[in-house]
Structure 1
């Protein structure tokens, strides 16, 4: 998908959220610049501006190397931290205080980062850490700490996160 298609889709789903729109346009631009070494050299001042403005001033860490699908939504982006090796699927929603990244293993090495499927809704102050997979159509409740895989079509809450409800795929299609 083209750079402009991602921008327009993000713009549409973040209607009414000026901060998210601004940050996502800037994020998609640094994401595109990151693909070519020549563009990195030419747009180095912009890359530094992005890092200073978005990460330091707004408190939103969306690294330029992050792989994020279309229709990324975030609400109240303050304190949002996503590791650059994380993979976000399409139609993901992130709220304030979310941390997604690796964890330190017993041998001192770092684990891989989480992979989120499509249509994942992450509540406020959620921590998702380690080499785990979050399935499609998953809702993670506020304050949850996710350290294990979550299957498709479920709702997870708590510390550590446990599956509260397994939503049937057929019932979810009817509600859409």
Structure 2
């Protein structure tokens, strides 16, 4: 269980804020997956939301599915929808929004699915039911509203592939 809670620890060396956020996230995520822990850790879930969302300015819901090795740089104004799936060894930076969109009929879309080894620059918006492939670099300030192929570098508003990498 401790291995699960601290799985992002080494990826965030020297970044106490990211470590605090991710340990709190992993404990909360574990609590909702396990009924007994859920009952015991209800106070933790409340404290997690208050500290992480209100004081640290990061919305990382404990229902979000995130693979091992998440790195958070300058975690201010980071917003992730709880339906988002994030793969292994991904990097998130400040002022990034990852979420669904609301259709004209008022219904929400599905949330983004982000592959493994994705590096997301600061001030990036990833909106709607998009799929980001593996080994992708997303440039700062990009707006992603369409799928992104694996092994690519994308940038712009709207984002477009500027280079493929091996």
Equivalent residue for 1:94? 92
**Unaligned stretches of 5+ in structure 2?**
none
1:22-41, Cα deviation, whole Å (9 max, x unpaired): 11111100010011333222
Equivalent residue for 2:19? 21
CA distance in 1, matches of 2:105, 2:150: 31
Task: Write out aligned runs for 1:61-72 (5 A).
Answer: 61-72=59-70
* Number of aligned residue pairs: 166
Which ranges of 4 or more aligned residues in structure 1 deviate by more than 3 Å? Answer: 6-9
SS in structure 1 of the partner of residue 21 of structure 2 = helix
Please give the root-mean-square deviation of Cα atoms over the aligned residues, in Å.
1.1
TM-score by length of 2: 0.96
Equivalent residue for 1:173? none
CA distance in 2, matches of 1:8, 1:108: 39
Equivalent residue for 1:144? 142
SS in structure 2 of the partner of residue 10 of structure 1 = coil
Q: Are 1:165 and 2:163 matched, yes or no?
A: yes
CA distance in 2, matches of 1:135, 1:65: 22
Equivalent residue for 2:51? 53
How far off its partner does 1:42 sit? 2.0
2:40 to 42, 49, 54: 42
How far off its partner does 1:155 sit? 0.5
Equivalent residue for 1:174? none
CA distance in 2, matches of 1:47, 1:11: 20
CA distance in 1, matches of 2:96, 2:29: 21
Equivalent residue for 2:108? 110
How far off its partner does 1:106 sit? 2.3
How far off its partner does 1:72 sit? 0.4
Q: More deviation in 71-80 or 32-41? A: 32-41
Q: Are 1:125 and 2:126 matched, yes or no?
A: no
SS in structure 1 of the partner of residue 123 of structure 2 = coil
**Unaligned stretches of 5+ in structure 1?**
170-176
